[in-house]
């Protein structure tokens, strides 16, 4: 016998409340999680629709009192049903509960009342109103006359505006309302994020020849049945955005809707403004600072068909459009498209699934595509479209690489190399701007030699070891450990240790070196206050400063025409992150950073300072050669069986009690080892997770790698069942993730 957990009321705040039903014999093999079924409900046993969120072999209560579901509906009829099917797919794909998946897909409605806006309208015919206005004027009721005249002109007056603009008061309004001449009505208004109404309309640019060619190739692909997802590989400044806009226009002209995903960090006023300028009231913009209620409002507008375009970070993917035509993912390689919470979905993969399900088209774009997307494009699964030149053939910046070990040998211990210092000096002289970028992404206590650049790595996993407080060096994939070293194992130099400089120290060094320069700093500290991020960016754009120094947040997508120098201070810090993707991240960040230089009419320059000047990710970024980078990096992934050459599943276990966690992980690892051994897959770890302890919660992780994803899925499903059936895991939190 099978029992189904069903939610009846999908009113968003009630997804936790489920009811169990018996599954009739003939449906037992057909029924799956995510399906829509008919059930008798309540005292009158009225037929209702329900959503299956779980199936089990054991009843949760007395079966004699349990009702039986009556049938399976053909699901995926309504927008909501399709989204629930999407949640079911995410649950299976990424490993989470159905409730977690539903809560990700359906925005939670908060118990907040929409703010109400009051309007005044005429309650009589225009002719009559004319007469009344005349009478009021001759009777010297000027204020009342003015109100009626204004209504004759505008039909509908905003209450607040009316009181502000022509001093309308309640005593003016009341007699008119009492006589039934005017009426006050309330409209539900949405909590708007940016007021799009005041932004002047802008025409779309005319595409350049290469842009038009890219557009045409996409049109050609869209004629295929079914069209493949498109990957636009376009260098920084090539005009990918212009191509997206034309595609959006086309799709909304067909009467369909569009979702545009952009990285959170790029959701600046500039971006939002451009969208409103082009598409006006048809657009809504989400960002993660919106409250759940605000997000809910925007989704409601989408559902009612009041908007056609939703722009936002990964959660915008779940906008309930009824006739979705296109999903665009800009900067598809961005890490922020991967969710950190269960289900740990990737927006790219999830968008692909949603697009297939709803017959919508998918367009990805990047100057530095993810290895995943580019591999699919090479295999022909995606259509590759290229934009190789910058707009108006503006040259890409001239890039040079400085060897920091050489600087040390020459006695220069400053964070600024001699050539970078000279270049900054020159920029200050000509009144141009410079960006200095300290690459700290993924920075986590690695140990390197300042003399020869050697980084201590795990002999099994080929990723950097991390120094712990107890002084031991640890691998976060497999748990390998070794004691700290006093001397570099390669060159014998004693200059071996962690890298300490931060943006603040760099700012001080700059002040000392260039006392007259105006300097802005942008990092986690200076952007915590609301609005400060925008303030720094707009101040720099207005040329109120000469140098902008900051972390990776300064290199993303900004367009500063006066910037002609970009310096990457220690380009390879991110190369040493304890993560197999670190070379890819380094290449992406450097390419993006270099791309900030010379975007205006003046040609640009970039200087990359590095302890590994020969590393392929530095070399290929300097040459702006994506293809060469891809070849090198793929060879490494193939050799080590890292994605996308293989798939990698992690099982993260966390809990407050370290002993309990150790025990739980032991059991779990044994179980996983047992099934994995059937497929001859070794289990890597368990080890302490990269961040081993957060807020007093301990975390351990193990990994599995295999080329066939279905096998990992099978292991995951069995492990999920095992966890469900064992009460010993109740006090631990277990999360699956495809890393
Ligand atoms: P990408 O998104 O590829 O980095 P953008 O679309 O931001 O490139 O374009 C880079 C710059 O060139 C922008 O300032 C943009 O306004 C300008 N540009 C690109 N294409 C055109 C065009 N067809 N007409 C006018 N300006 C363009
Ligand atoms: Zn050394
Ligand atoms: Zn290891």
Mean pLDDT of 380-399: 91
Ligand 1, atom nearest to 211 Cα = 23
Whether the CB of 453 sits within 6 Å of ligand 1: no
Query: What is the rounded distance in angstroms from the CA atom of residue 88 to the CA atom of residue 93?
Result: 8
Per-residue pLDDT of 406-455, as tens digits, reads 998 888 878 899 999 999 999 999 999 999 998 765 445 678 887 888 88
Whether the CB of 238 sits within 6 Å of ligand 1: yes
Whether the CB of 559 sits within 6 Å of ligand 1: yes
**Ligand 3 ion: Cβ-proximal residues, 5 Å cutoff:** 458, 460-461, 475, 477-478, 480
Beta strands across the sheet bearing 46-56: 19-22, 3-7, 46-56, 36-41, 71-72
Q: What is the DSSP code string of 243-281?
A: HHHHHHHHHHHTT-EEEEE--GGG--HHHHHHHHHHHGG
Per-residue pLDDT of 604-618, as tens digits, reads 999 999 988 999 999
Kindly state the tokens that stand for 197. 């109404």
Does the model's pTM come out above 0.95? Answer: no
Neighbours of 485 (CB within 10 A): 13
Mean pLDDT of 367-387: 97
Q: Whose CA is nearest to atom 14 of ligand 1?
A: 559
Environment class of residue 52 by beta-carbon count within 10 Å: exposed (0-12), middle (13-18) or buried (19+)? buried
Whether the CB of 205 sits within 6 Å of ligand 1: yes
Which ligand is located closest to the Cα atom of residue 475? Answer: 3
Ligand 1, atom nearest to 236 Cα = 4
Percent of the chain with pLDDT over 90: 41
Per-residue pLDDT of 150-165, as tens digits, reads 888 777 788 877 777 7
703 CA → ligand 3 middle, Å = 11
Backbone angles phi, psi at 490, to 5 degrees: -95, -50
Q: Which residues neighbour 169 within 8 Å (Cβ) at sequence distance 6 or greater?
A: 143, 163
Is 430 one of the annotated binding-site residues? no
Which DSSP letter does residue 572 get? G
Among 210, 237, 334, 365, which residue has the most ligand 1 atoms within 8 Å of its CB, making it the best to mutate?
Answer: 237
Q: What pLDDT was estimated at residue 424? A: 97
Which DSSP letter does residue 119 get? E
Whether the CB of 325 sits within 6 Å of ligand 1: no
Is 141 one of the annotated binding-site residues? no
Per-residue pLDDT of 562-591, as tens digits, reads 999 999 988 777 777 778 998 999 999 999
Q: What's the complex ipTM?
A: 0.94
Whether the CB of 239 sits within 6 Å of ligand 1: yes
| Residue 698: C-alpha distances to residues 157, 481, 694, 720 (Å) | 59, 18, 7, 20
Whether the CB of 271 sits within 6 Å of ligand 1: no
Q: What is the DSSP code string of 411-462?
A: T--SSS-HHHHHHHHHHHHHT-EEEEE---TT-----EETTT--B-B-TTT-
- Grade residue 77 by pLDDT with cuts at 50, 70 and 90: low
Kindly state the tokens that stand for 216. 């045409």
- Grade residue 111 by pLDDT with cuts at 50, 70 and 90: very low
Among 211, 232, 242, which residue has the most ligand 1 atoms within 8 Å of its CB, making it the best to mutate?
Answer: 242
Per-residue pLDDT of 189-198, as tens digits, reads 444 455 556 6
Q: Which residues neighbour 677 within 8 Å (Cβ) at sequence distance 6 or greater?
A: none
The per-residue b/e assignment along 193-229, b for 16 or more CB within 10 angstroms, e otherwise, is bbebeebeeeeeeebbebbeebbebbeebbeeeebbb
Q: What pLDDT was estimated at residue 168? A: 79
The per-residue b/e assignment along 269-296, b for 16 or more CB within 10 angstroms, e otherwise, is eebbbbbbbbbeebbbbbbeebeebbbb
Q: What pLDDT was estimated at residue 221? A: 97
Per-residue pLDDT of 470-511, as tens digits, reads 778 888 778 888 988 889 988 988 888 776 567 888 898 999
Query: What is the rounded distance in angstroms from the CA atom of residue 714 to the CA atom of residue 681?
Result: 13
Q: Which of 715, 717, 718 is closest to 705 using CA atoms?
A: 715
Whether the CB of 211 sits within 6 Å of ligand 1: yes
Is 478 one of the annotated binding-site residues? yes
Whether the CB of 237 sits within 6 Å of ligand 1: yes
Which value, to the nearest 10 degrees, does the dihedral of the CA atoms of residues 730, 733, 737, 739 take?
-140
11 pLDDT more than 80: no
Per-residue pLDDT of 201-225, as tens digits, reads 888 889 999 999 999 999 999 999 8
């Amino acid at each position: 016998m099978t029992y189904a957990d069903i939610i009846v009321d999908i009113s968003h705040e009630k997804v936790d409340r489920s009811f169990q039903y018996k599954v009739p014999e003939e449906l037992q093999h057909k029924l799956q999680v995510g399906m829509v079924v008919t059930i008798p409900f309540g005292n009158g046993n009225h037929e209702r629709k329900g959503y299956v969120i779980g199936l089990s072999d054991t009843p949760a209560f007395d079966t004699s009192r349990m009702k039986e579901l009556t049938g399976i509906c053909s699901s995926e009829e309504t927008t909501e049903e399709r989204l629930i099917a999407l949640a079911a797919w995410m649950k299976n794909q990424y490993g989470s509960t159905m409730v977690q998946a539903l809560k990700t897909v359906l925005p939670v409605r908060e118990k907040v009342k929409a703010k109400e806006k009051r309007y005044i309208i005429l309650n009589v015919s225009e002719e009559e109103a004319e007469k009344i206005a005349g009478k009021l004027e001759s009777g010297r009721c000027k204020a009342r006359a003015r109100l009626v005249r204004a209504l004759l002109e505008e039909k509908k007056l905003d209450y607040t505006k009316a009181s502000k603009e022509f001093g309308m008061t309640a005593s003016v309004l009341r007699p008119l309302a009492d006589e039934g001449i005017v009426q006050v009505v309330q409209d539900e208004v949405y909590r708007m994020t940016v007021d799009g109404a005041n932004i002047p309309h802008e025409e779309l640019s005319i595409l350049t020849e290469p842009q038009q060619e890219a557009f045409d190739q996409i049109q050609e692909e869209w004629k295929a049945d079914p069209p493949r997802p498109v990957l636009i590989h376009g260098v920084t400044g090539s005009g990918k955005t212009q191509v997206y806009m034309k595609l959006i226009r086309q799709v909304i002209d067909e009467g369909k809707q569009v979702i545009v995903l952009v990285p959170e960090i790029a959701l600046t006023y500039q971006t939002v403004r451009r969208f409103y300028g082009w598409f006006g009231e048809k657009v809504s913009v989400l960002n993660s600072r919106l409250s759940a209620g605000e997000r809910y409002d925007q989704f409601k507008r989408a559902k009612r068909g009041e908007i056609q375009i939703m722009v936002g970070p990964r959660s915008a993917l779940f906008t309930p459009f009824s006739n979705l035509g296109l999903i665009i993912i800009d900067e598809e390689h961005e890490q922020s498209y991967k969710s950190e919470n269960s289900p740990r979905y990737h927006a790219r993969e999830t968008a692909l699934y949603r697009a297939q399900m709803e017959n919508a088209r998918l367009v990805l774009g990047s100057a530095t595509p993810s290895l995943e997307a580019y591999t699919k494009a090479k295999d022909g699964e995606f259509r590759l479209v290229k934009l190789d030149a910058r707009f108006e053939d503006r040259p890409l910046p001239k890039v040079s690489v400085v060897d920091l070990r050489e600087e040390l040998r020459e006695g220069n211990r400053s964070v600024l190399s001699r050539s970078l210092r000279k270049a900054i000096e020159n920029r200050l002289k000509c009144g141009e701007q410079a960006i200095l970028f300290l690459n700290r992404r993924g920075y986590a206590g690695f140990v390197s030699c300042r003399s020869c650049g050697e980084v201590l790595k795990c002999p099994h996993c080929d990723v950097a070891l991390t120094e712990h407080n107890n002084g031991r060096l640890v691998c976060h994939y497999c748990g390998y450990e070794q004691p700290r070293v006093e001397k570099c194992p390669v060159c014998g130099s004693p200059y071996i240790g962690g890298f300490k400089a931060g943006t603040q120290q760099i700012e001080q060094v700059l002040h000392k070196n260039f006392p007259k320069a105006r300097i802005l700093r942008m990092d986690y500290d200076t952007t915590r206050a609301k609005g400060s991020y925008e303030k720094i960016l707009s101040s720099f754009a207005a040329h109120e400063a000469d140098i902008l120094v900051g972390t990776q947040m300064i290199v993303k997508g900004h367009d500063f025409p006066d910037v002609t120098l970009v310096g990457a201070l220690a380009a390879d810090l991110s190369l040493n992150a304890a993560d197999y993707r670190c070379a890819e991240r380094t290449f992406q960040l450097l390419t993006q950073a270099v791309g900030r230089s010379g975007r205006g009419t003046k040609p640009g320059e970039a200087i990359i300072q590095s302890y590994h000047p020969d590393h392929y990710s530095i070399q290929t970024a300097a040459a702006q050669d994506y293809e060469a980078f891809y070849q090198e990096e793929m060879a490494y992934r193939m050799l080590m069986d890292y994605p996308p050459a293989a798939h990698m599943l992690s099982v993260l276990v966390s809990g407050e009690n370290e002993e309990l966690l150790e025990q739980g992980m032991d059991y779990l690892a044994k179980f996983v080892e047992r099934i994995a051994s059937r497929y001859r897959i070794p289990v890597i770890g368990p080890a302490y997770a990269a961040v081993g302890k957060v807020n007093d919660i301990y975390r351990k992780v193990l990994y599995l790698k295999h080329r066939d994803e279905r096998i990992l899925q099978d292991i995951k499903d069995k492990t999920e069942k095992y966890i469900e059936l064992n009460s010993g895991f109740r006090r631990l939190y277990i999360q699956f993730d495809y890393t």
